[in-house]
Amino acid sequence: MQLSSTNILLTIVIIWLALLNIYLFKAVAGYKKITHGTQNLNLEQILDLLFKKVDLSEKRMAQQAEEVAKLEMANRLNIQKHALMRFNPFEDTGGDQSFVAAFLDGENNGIVISSLHTRSGTRVYAKNVTAGKADSHQFSKEEKEVVEKAARRV
């Protein structure tokens, strides 16, 4: 049996219409997905609302980025780094009962506290640290070591 050109053309048209219907159903499903939750709005109004929401989100993200930057700058001034070292400064005392502690901010400014324990008592000293260096008084070997150790922390 031989197919006529009319039957071939009709088959092609039916296949073409089926493909168009599939494309149309996908387009309508996408439209319904976009317009879900909106009432009596056309596509232009819906897209306008979406663009406004995107603009608002971008503004909020920029504000949050500014706030994070401010918080990071403020946090640089908080104590972030510390180190502790125990040692025995004198031969006549037993154990490592003396210590040095350093407390630094993000810019390596802060204090170093030394406690020297002897048989007759304990003495405590505090010195300022600026940019990881002694501010007005020289550091002892232990103080310098503990400040450097604290400054290396991230």
Q: What are phi and psi of 92, to 5 degrees?
A: -85, 0
State which H helix or E strand residue 102 sits in: strand 98-104
Q: Report the C-alpha gap between 32 and 81 in whole angstroms.
A: 56
| Inter-residue contact 101 to 150 (CB < 8 Å) | no
Residue-level pLDDT at 104: 95
Q: Report the C-alpha gap between 95 and 70 in whole angstroms.
A: 46
Please enumerate in sequence order all residues whose Cβ is within 8 A of that of 117, keeping only pairs 6 or more positions apart, or say none: 93, 97, 98
Q: What 3-state class would DSSP assign to 38?
A: coil
pLDDT of residue 114 exceeding 90, the answer is yes
pLDDT tens, 38-91? Answer: 777 777 888 888 899 999 999 999 999 999 999 988 888 889 999 999 988 777
Q: Report the C-alpha gap between 72 and 91 in whole angstroms.
A: 46
Higher pLDDT, 129 or 36: 129
Question: What pTM, to 2 d.p., does this model score?
Answer: 0.58
User: Token pair of 89, please?
Assistant: 């400064």
State which H helix or E strand residue 134 sits in: strand 133-134
